[in-house]
Amino acid sequence: VDGKDPPIGANNIFFHETSCFGDDGIVLTARQACAVESAAKMNPTMKIYIFFLSQANYSTMTQETLNILSKYYNNISIRRILMKEYVKNTPLNEWWDSGIFKTSRWPKSHISDILRYLTLWKFGGIYLDLDVVVTS
């Protein structure tokens, strides 16, 4: 994770963007931004993390969206993940290094699933998909 690791505990909400790419770089859609905003607004004492599984540049629209979210919600934190680093010193380190996931018919889906579980294992808290809007 670039930046400081999240603190361990129940006061974290995590979102992962693992598809990441549009024609213009990393894309966070308006609908996804709404999910993040709703979590931040309804849980002002919790820290909201958006993890991007890409080192590409943000699209112009995504950068503007992230700037707006960061301006109005000080509990939102944006991070990029390098899986090779993220799995270090975890039970999945050996599995990742073996590269066996590359033989899957659905490696992107499986990596997304692993990332969810690994994030909760490492930091605790709550994971939400980017199509979940928090209403209370």
Determine the Cα–Cα distance for residues 95 and 15; give it in Å rounded to an integer: 23
**Per the domain annotation, does 7 fall within a domain?**
no
The whole-number average pLDDT for the span 51-64 is: 89
Asked if pLDDT for residue 3 goes beyond 80, the answer is no
Local structure of 50: helix, strand or coil = strand
Predicted TM-score of the model (pTM): 0.89
pLDDT for the residue numbered 29: 92
Number of domains in the chain: 1
**Per the domain annotation, does 132 fall within a domain?**
no
Q: What are the two backbone dihedrals, phi and then psi, of residue 40, each rounded to the nearest 5 degrees?
A: -65, -40
**Per the domain annotation, does 114 fall within a domain?**
yes
Q: What are the two backbone dihedrals, phi and then psi, of residue 28, each rounded to the nearest 5 degrees?
A: -115, 115
The whole-number average pLDDT for the span 6-21 is: 86
Domain extent at residue 97: 12-125
**Per the domain annotation, does 135 fall within a domain?**
no
**Per the domain annotation, does 3 fall within a domain?**
no
